Amino acid sequence: MVTVSGMAQRLQAPDAALLDLFEQRMRDIWRRDRFVLDDPTGTCRRIRVLLECEGFGSAATLLAKSGAREDWNRVFAEERSQFIADWLLPYLEGQVLDVLGGDFTVLRALVAKGLSATQTVGCERRNAYAVDWSALPFPVRDFDLSLGLPIGFVDTYLICTVLHHEPDLDAFFAILDRGSACRWVVVENCVDDANSEAFHLYVDEFFNKCLNSFDVPCVPQHRTAESWRDLLGAFGRVIHTETRSDVPGMPFPYTLFVIDR
């Protein structure tokens, strides 16, 4: 079973060591991705103190006033999306469904790089993100576990940093398994010696409740790359695995899994 109970979803407050690590990674991101900020080191320190003493509210205010929120979201929307699109494009075949694609910046980047908009569909939980679906160059359908995936033939599922947010992975995988896609292209941020589940969970909460406000579950579903590979291998043959530690805007690596069925 890979279901997270309501009790398990109540995340523990971060300790000082975790906040120290987060401050270091935040500072590294701002330097690596060329954030244009006055006194970035001092701003990182003040955000870390606010996170420890007052929580997300005051830190969110400083992120906005300092310009860090604007720069971070720019890196996510432009550089991260372009990076992921370049990485994943060779593995996407035929009709593609972007499963729970968020604000669809990655799918938009893929279309800009040559993925056919007429062979592309997105699906997301309605109202999870403030995005005008009608303005996108591809159709987007509503998603609900009780409704399943949009009806229609699909060759490839794109599942990008989605699985670790799902409280009920058994139900989610059952929906994917019933679909027509012969290939799953999955990206996950994985637990390793340098990135504990507690750190992943805190970053999820920070991104979705402090840097921005998105209606996305933050649950303890993170796994090692080996564990994800074993889990995904139950649904097909894992033909490719690759980890990148240079994803713009991100404080930990991403791992790509390509599964053929």
State which of 72, 88, 118 marks the end of a domain. Answer: 72
Q: Is residue 232 part of a domain?
A: yes
Angle, in degrees to the nearest 10, between helices 16-32 and 197-206: 60
194 and 255 share a domain?
yes
Residue 111 is predicted with a pLDDT of 97
State which of 72, 95, 110 marks the end of a domain. Answer: 72
Q: Tally the domains of the chain.
A: 2
Q: What is the pTM of this model?
A: 0.93
51 and 147 share a domain?
no
The rounded distance, in Å, linking the Cα atoms of 182 and 184 is: 7
Q: What is the pLDDT of residues 75-114, one digit of tens each?
A: 999 999 999 999 999 999 999 999 999 999 999 999 999 9
The rounded distance, in Å, linking the Cα atoms of 110 and 94 is: 13
Provide the token pair at 70. 């604007």
Q: What is the pLDDT of residues 30-87, one digit of tens each?
A: 999 999 999 999 999 999 999 999 999 999 999 999 999 999 999 999 999 999 999 9
66 and 98 share a domain?
no
Q: Averaged over 220-230, what is the pLDDT?
A: 97
Range of the domain at 136: 80-260
Residues 6+ apart with CB under 8 A from 204: 164, 165, 216, 218
Q: Is residue 3 part of a domain?
A: no
Provide the token pair at 111. 């279309």
Q: Averaged over 218-244, what is the pLDDT?
A: 97
Q: Is residue 175 part of a domain?
A: yes
138 and 221 share a domain?
yes
53 and 140 share a domain?
no
Task: Find the CATH number of the domain harbouring 161.
Answer: 3.40.50.150
Indicate the pLDDT class of residue 125, thresholds 50, 70 and 90: confident
State which of 53, 72, 91 marks the end of a domain. Answer: 72
* R_g over Cα of the chain: 18
Q: Is residue 4 part of a domain?
A: no
Neighbours of 191 (CB within 10 A): 21
62 and 94 share a domain?
no
The rounded distance, in Å, linking the Cα atoms of 40 and 185 is: 36
123 and 194 share a domain?
yes
Q: What is the pLDDT of residues 240-260, one digit of tens each?
A: 999 999 999 999 999 999 999
212 and 89 share a domain?
yes
Q: Is residue 46 part of a domain?
A: yes
